[in-house]
Amino acid sequence: MSSVEPIDRAQRRPTLRFQAPAGEAPERLARFRTAGAELTGARDFLLPLEQLEGHGLEEWWLDGGAAPRTSAEGVQAVAAGGLLLCEAFEPETADPREAARATYERLLAFLQANDYPHVVKGWNYLADINEGRGDTERYKQFCLGRGEALESCWRHDYLPAGTGVGGGEGTGLRVTLLASREAPVIIENPRQMSAFRYPRQYGPKSPSFSRAAAIGGTARPLLFISGTAAIVGHDSLHATSIEGQVSETLRNWTSLFDAFEQRVGRRPSLTKDAWYRVYLRHPEHLAPARKVLHDAGLPLERTLFLRADICRRELLFEMDGVLAA
């Protein structure tokens, strides 16, 4: 594999900021824009989903020298402050297993070559995720291919946090990985079975992700939360109620925050510095979902509401986020 310019050799602990601080200019790590928005900046990435409400923009700032965007073997990358964000897009997903395997192998080889061995979080956006019956469902095939790539290329004893949702035609497979030089602290949720232990009924290969991953030490940790839905144990709940699913998801987050506090000694808060992404299967669920989230104190000006298919057909809602704990 051809090597790219040395990216960022700083070893300082990453401190992500949620807005551009006044005074001396920090570097922007990346900016995510939703589908339809024009991508103009050198550090812009596409969030390939339709936006239902909000600003359509998520911006991450980091202290520490930024390296220019690089591109090698179909991988786009930016780095700053000890973190690297890389992305690969595969338009051809007739075989989602093969697309996932090839895309993950490409990304993991890129990280290996650039000396960012750890992955904190992966975002996976796949077209038509619920198409296909039984084990041939595209999400289940995606899980197989991702699992195969990790079996051959992943050398760590943890799995990164993850999000896996579906977009419409044209989404292809877009995988974005946030990598670091230090291993993240992994948090599982005592209220939910670890996804990598899900029983066979959910597919031939259990999903390869952990519930949350934290970086930055204990002084000002950054918590990346996986896509979270109304799953307790391994069962989906409230199949017909959007309010029920949103409330159950928030209970899952509270339980995850409990686990994080026990482990790291700081209590994350929903209302602090954060970015959230809310995934809704049906646009008409925007108002009821928004109300439950608003009543829970979620900062809606830092929340993107996006139209997406959730990887289990009965799920109407999923959300993920990053917050400064």
Residues that bind ligand 3EB (CB under 6 A): 124, 162-164, 195, 207, 209, 226-227, 229, 231, 311
Nearer to ligand 3EB, 160 or 216 (CB): 160
**Mutual angle of helices 96-113 and 138-153, in 10-degree steps:** 30
Nearer to ligand 3EB, 242 or 311 (CB): 311
Provide the minimum distance between the beta carbon of 315 and ligand 3EB in the complex, in angstroms, as a whole number.
7
Residue 110's CB is within 10 A of a number of other CB atoms, namely 25
Q: Which is nearer to ligand 3EB, 10 or 175 (by Cβ)?
A: 175
26: its two tokens: 């920090």
Non-local CB neighbours of 41 within 8 Å, separated by 6+ positions: 31
Q: Which residues, in sequence order, are bridge partners of residue 276?
A: 303, 321
Q: How far is Cα 15 from Cα 165, in angstroms, rounded to an integer?
A: 27
Q: Quote the least distance from Cβ 226 to ligand 3EB, whole Å.
A: 5
**Residue 312 beta carbon to ligand 3EB: minimum distance, rounded to whole angstroms:** 7
Q: Which of 171, 43, 27 is closest to 96 using CA atoms?
A: 171
What's the min distance (Å) between Cβ of 235 and ligand 3EB? 11
| Residue with Cβ nearer ligand 3EB (64 or 166) | 166
CB of 246: closest distance to ligand 3EB in angstroms?
A: 14
Per the structure block, which two tokens stand in for 282? 């049906």
Q: What is the DSSP letter of 229?
A: -
Q: Which of 176/226 has CB closer to ligand 3EB?
A: 226
Please give the residue whose beta carbon sits closest to ligand 3EB in the complex.
Answer: 164
Cα end-to-end span (Å), the chain: 38
Query: Minimum distance between the CB of residue 166 and ligand 3EB, rounded to whole angstroms?
Result: 11
The token pair that represents 37 in the structure block: 């928005």
Q: Which is nearer to ligand 3EB, 67 or 179 (CB)?
A: 179
Contact predicate 167/126, CB 8 Å: yes
